[in-house]
Amino acid sequence: MWTTRSMRLAAAAALLGVTLGAAGASAQIPTTLQGFGAPVYPAFEGWYGNPDGTATLLIGFYNANTEQAVDLPVGDLNHFSPGPQDRGQPTHFSPGRAWGVFTIVVPGDFDGDLSWTLVANGEPVTIPFHIQAPYFVEPFKDASNNNEPPTIRFAENGPPLTGPPVGIAERLSGSVGSPVDLGVWLSDVTPDTHVRESPFRRSPPMSLLWHKLRGPGEVEFAEATFEYEETSVQNPRTTATFSAPGEYWLRAEALDSTGVGGSGFQCCWTSAIVQVTVSE
């Protein structure tokens, strides 16, 4: 079992290993950024075991464009192979790196016969998945300092959610042009004292970010980012307004002082997916 921070860092160095769609050649992550026209790269971030003997694949993406948000509907431009093509992946890709966006559960004897393809700006990129030892991760606890992810609740005394997203956590409804209330109860159940007191800490002790994952129209958040200097229970509230009817998926991302994506160590953050059905 890979448990040390240094081992996970070695694995993280390969997390964006991808292949170009038809050619099968190694894709190079761009060293210089561009505003528009670049690919969107799927990212295999590792896997972890479940109590029932299955394994969970942890998946994100990297949109190499600095200004272009890319929408890729499920189908030829955004699919898993072999099918089903739709396995809960995003169809909206904001610029930059997004960690732990969704998960897929596979059998404990998974043989690696699964890949995700994205075709953005005419550039096909495919990444395969596996459950090999170097990619084992621990998103629920950092073994080097016992840090654990923050907790999200969608009701004050509701069930706690920690770690990577598993299915739809909350379902809401609304109508076009009318703000839909979004509220969570956020706390850090196991404060990471060592990281929080470090003079090199670059992130607040606790923060919450809202993202669009799917949907046919634009989503406008009244406020998409919240930061707190205390890890006690906080109740960040905002609204989302939708420009067109349909089904939308939003992602609530709770971070502790390790920052976005746990600074690449798969801990410690929590993501939860909210489905909003929007009518005329």
What are 6-37's pLDDT values in tens digits?
333 333 334 444 433 332 323 445 555 678 89
- Give the model's confidence band at 199: pLDDT under 50 very low, under 70 low, under 90 confident, else very high: low
User: Which of 252, 168, 249 has the alpha carbon at shortest distance from 210?
Assistant: 252
97 and 160 housed in the same domain: no
Q: Which residues pair with 101 in a beta bridge?
A: none
18 and 129 housed in the same domain: yes
Answer yes or no: is 9 within a domain: yes
Answer yes or no: is 79 within a domain: yes
Name the token pair of 33: 């950024």
256 and 158 housed in the same domain: yes
- Give the model's confidence band at 203: pLDDT under 50 very low, under 70 low, under 90 confident, else very high: confident
User: Rounded distance, CA 107 to CA 131, Å?
Assistant: 10
Answer yes or no: is 145 within a domain: no
| pTM listed for this prediction | 0.86
Q: Is the pLDDT of residue 163 over 50?
A: yes
**pLDDT at res. 245:** 98
Answer yes or no: is 144 within a domain: no
84 and 182 housed in the same domain: no
User: Rounded distance, CA 230 to CA 221, Å?
Assistant: 24
3-state secondary structure of 119: strand
**pLDDT at res. 117:** 98
Domain span holding position 176: 151-279
> pLDDT tens across 70-125, in order?
999 999 999 999 989 999 999 999 999 999 999 999 999 998 899 999 999 999 99
SS3 sequence of 127-144: EECCCCHHHECCCCCECC
3-state secondary structure of 260: helix
Answer yes or no: is 146 within a domain: no
Last residue of a domain, one of 135, 163, 178: 135
128 and 175 housed in the same domain: no
Distances (CA, A) of 236 to 10, 64, 228, 233: 36, 30, 10, 10
126 and 192 housed in the same domain: no
Answer yes or no: is 141 within a domain: no
**Count of domains forming the chain:** 2
163 and 118 housed in the same domain: no
Mean model confidence pLDDT for the chain? 86
Last residue of a domain, one of 71, 106, 135: 135
Given a contact cutoff of 8 angstroms between Cβ atoms, the answer to whether 17 and 129 are in contact is: no
